[in-house]
C-alpha cells in the first residue's frame, strides 16, 4: 500500500492507494489539525496503521511551509508553528520503515495535476487561490516533471497599498486571497456582492496579466477554496484579461481536475519521482 | 573561423572568432542597419567574406524579433520590418555552405552571459534595459542551458496608466524603457534630473519586485543601453527593493560582464548547442 498525506492548517487528509496511481482503489480519512506536533504525528501514525496494517511501501507527505534544501525538515510553517523545526520525514521513516518523500503543499498539488490531471504532458502554471494565493510553474523536460515555486500572491498590485501579513504593502493576496477578502470586506468571499467581486476580479486579472507577461504560460490550472467555490469568477477574469492583454493570446484558465484531492494525488506522485 | 552576428534596429555587429570561445582572437565590424533586407543581407555577406575568406565553420545570428518554432524564419520584427517573413538562416546557409543558428536577440545575449559571463554554472535572470525592456530566465538542468523568454517589460505597474505602443496601458516599459522615458520627459534618459530618475527607479523597482516574487531568482544580470550607461541606477533600485521586498532576500543585481558584446558572444554560443 502507498500513503499520501496532505497536511493543512485546519485538516490533515490521509489516503491509502493500492497502486502508484490514484485511479485504483483508495481510502481517505480526514483528521483535525491540532497544531501540536507530537499529537498530530501520533494521530497520523494511527490512521496509517489502520489503513495499511503496517504494509506500507511508501509515504508521500506535503506541508504548508518552507522546507530545507534536502527536504527532510520544516524550516517555516506560518499556519503550523508547532511543526517548525520538526523532522517529519525521518520520524515517519523510523516508524514505518519505508521510503518517505516530503514536499511543499503547492508544489505537491501542482505535481498531482501534472501527473494525473489536466497538466499531463504539458507545461503549465498551477495557481492555488484559497486563503492565500500561491503558485507553481511546471515544466516537462525530457519527460521529467520540473516544478518551480512562485510567490506570485506577493507581487504588488498597488504600490504603497494595504499592508499584508508578510510585511509588504499592496500584495495581490491582500486584495484577492480568502483571508485578505475577509479582512477587507468584513465577510467571507462567498458573501461578497457582485460589485465587491468586480473589485476582486480586477485585482486578480491585473495580477494574472503580470504573471503571464513575466512568465508566459499557455495553460493555467486553478485549485484552492476561492477558485473552486466561485467557479464563474475565472470566466470574468478571463474577460478582463482578453480586453487588456495585447502582446499575446490569453491562455486557457481551467479548474483543477480533482479539486482539493489533487494534493493527495500529488503526495502519491512524490513516490514516483 | 566562426561568425557571430548581432542584428539590431540601428546597427549590425559581426564578429569572427578563431575558436568556439570568445576569449581567443576575434575581430568585430559594425554596419549601419538599412532596414532593407536584400541590401542588409549583401552587406553582411561581404563582411563575413572579408573576415573569413569564406573559411566559415558556423554562423550564429540574432534578430530583434519573434521567430517561428523551427527558428528558420522571422515572423515579427517591429524595429526591422523589411526582415519580416525572410529566411535569413537558409539564405546564409546557401551562401556559406555551413551550419547557421538563428535566435531571438534577448535569448542570445542571455546565452552569452550563461556560457561565458557572470551566469556560468548558474540559474539567473537576464534583463535587457534599453530602448525597451525584455528578459530571459536561464536554467541549468543536467549541465544544459535552458532559456525562457519573458515579456517582463509588459507587466502593468499602473492599471489603466499610460498607453504603450503594444496597445496595453501602464506597462513597465512606458515608464522605464529608453523610448518611454524620451516620450514621457521629452528628453533622453541621460538628461533626466535626479528627481525624474527617482520616479523611473521607483517604477523599475516595482516591476523588478514583481518579477522576483513571481519567478524567484538569486541573480539578475543587466544589459541594455539604459542599464549600461547609468550604472548607479541599479544600486538605487536595490535600495528600494531592500526596503520593500519582505518575503525573501534581495538577489544580486549585476551588470553584464561584456556590456553590449554579450550578444555577439551569445551568437557564437549558439553554435555550441
Specify if B262 maps to a domain.
Answer: no
Specify if B211 maps to a domain.
Answer: yes
Whether the CB of B216 is below 8 Å from some CB of chain A: the reply is yes
A149 and A99 co-located in one domain? no
Q: What is the pLDDT of residue B54?
A: 81
Cβ proximity of A136 and A161 under 8 Å: no
Q: Which positions in chain A touch B167 (Cβ < 8 Å)?
A: 246-247
User: Minimal CA–CA distance to B125: which of B45, B8, B215?
Assistant: B215
| CA atoms of A204 and A230, how far apart (whole Å) | 13
Q: What domain range includes position A50?
A: 2-109+261-272
**pLDDT-flagged residues of chain A (< 50):** none
Specify if A238 maps to a domain.
Answer: yes
From chain A residues 142-201, the ones with a CB under 8 A of any chain B CB are: 146, 148-152, 154-157, 159, 166-169
A154 and A241 co-located in one domain? yes
A247 and A266 co-located in one domain? no
A125 and A251 co-located in one domain? yes
Q: What is the pLDDT of residue B82?
A: 94
Using the beta-carbon criterion (under 8 Å), do B141 and A137 form an inter-chain contact? no
| CA atoms of B96 and B30, how far apart (whole Å) | 20
Q: What is the pLDDT of residue A43?
A: 98
Residue B73 scores a pLDDT above 90: yes
Using the beta-carbon criterion (under 8 Å), do B154 and A247 form an inter-chain contact? yes
Q: What is the pLDDT of residue B233?
A: 95
B64 and B14 co-located in one domain? yes
**Mean pLDDT of chain B, nearest integer:** 94
Using the beta-carbon criterion (under 8 Å), do A159 and B245 form an inter-chain contact? no
| CA atoms of B181 and B197, how far apart (whole Å) | 10
Specify if B70 maps to a domain.
Answer: yes
Q: Which positions in chain B touch A157 (Cβ < 8 Å)?
A: 159
Specify if B111 maps to a domain.
Answer: no
Q: What is the pLDDT of residue B24?
A: 85
pLDDT tens string B1-27: 999 999 998 899 999 999 999 988 899
B27 and B99 co-located in one domain? yes
Q: Which positions in chain B touch A169 (Cβ < 8 Å)?
A: 244
Cell 555551413, residue located: B98
B123 and B251 co-located in one domain? yes
Specify if A165 maps to a domain.
Answer: yes
Model confidence at B66, pLDDT cuts 50, 70, 90, reads: confident
pLDDT tens string A66-120: 899 899 999 988 778 899 999 999 999 999 999 999 999 999 999 999 999 999 9
Q: DSSP per residue over A99-160, as a string? A: EEEEEEHHHHHHHHHHHHSTTTTS-EEEEEESSSEEEEEEEEETTEEEEEEE-GGGSBSSTT
B97 and B172 co-located in one domain? no
Specify if A114 maps to a domain.
Answer: no
Q: What is the pLDDT of residue A25?
A: 87
A127 and A247 co-located in one domain? yes
A87 and A159 co-located in one domain? no
User: What cell does B185 get?
Assistant: 520627459
A240 and A151 co-located in one domain? yes
A126 and A252 co-located in one domain? yes
Using the beta-carbon criterion (under 8 Å), do A214 and B215 form an inter-chain contact? yes
Using the beta-carbon criterion (under 8 Å), do A248 and B167 form an inter-chain contact? no
Specify if A115 maps to a domain.
Answer: no
Based on the structure, what is the number of domains in chain A? 2
CATH code, domain carrying B48: 3.30.420.40
Amino acid at each position: 500500500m502507498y500513503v499520501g498525506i496532505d497536511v493543512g492548517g485546519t485538516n490533515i487528509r490521509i489516503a491509502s492507494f493500492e497502486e502508484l496511481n490514484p485511479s485504483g482503489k483508495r481510502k481517505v480519512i480526514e483528521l483535525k489539525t491540532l497544531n501540536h506536533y507530537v499529537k498530530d504525528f501520533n494521530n497520523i501514525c494511527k490512521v496509517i496503521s489502520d489503513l495499511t496494517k503496517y504494509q506500507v511501501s511508501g509515504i508521500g507527505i506535503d506541508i504548508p511551509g518552507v522546507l530545507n534544501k534536502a527536504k527532510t525538515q520544516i524550516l517555516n510553517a506560518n499556519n503550523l508553528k508547532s511543526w517548525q523545526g520538526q523532522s517529519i520525514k525521518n520520524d515517519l521513516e523510523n516508524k514505518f520503515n519505508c521510503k518517505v518523500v516530503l514536499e511543499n503543499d503547492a508544489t505537491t498539488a501542482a505535481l498531482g495535476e501534472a501527473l494525473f490531471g489536466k497538466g499531463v504532458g504539458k507545461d503549465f502554471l498551477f495557481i492555488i487561490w484559497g486563503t492565500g494565493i500561491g503558485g507553481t510553474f511546471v515544466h516537462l523536460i525530457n519527460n521529467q516533471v520540473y516544478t518551480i515555486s512562485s510567490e506570485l500572491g506577493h507581487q504588488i498590485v498597488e504600490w504603497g497599498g494595504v499592508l499584508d501579513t508578510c510585511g509588504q504593502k499592496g500584495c495581490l493576496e491582500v486584495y484577492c486571497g480568502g483571508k485578505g477578502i475577509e479582512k477587507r470586506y468584513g465577510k467571507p468571499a462567498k458573501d461578497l456582492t457582485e460589485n465587491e467581486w468586480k473589485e476582486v476580479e480586477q485585482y486578480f486579472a491585473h495580477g494574472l496579466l503580470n504573471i503571464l507577461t513575466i512568465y508566459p504560460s499557455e495553460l493555467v490550472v486553478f485549485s484552492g477554496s476561492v477558485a473552486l467555490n466561485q467557479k464563474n469568477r475565472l470566466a470574468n477574469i478571463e474577460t478582463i484579461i482578453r480586453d487588456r492583454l495585447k502582446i499575446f493570446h490569453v491562455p486557457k484558465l481551467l479548474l483543477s481536475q480533482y479539486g482539493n484531492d489533487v494534493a493527495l494525488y500529488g503526495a502519491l506522485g512524490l513516490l514516483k519521482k
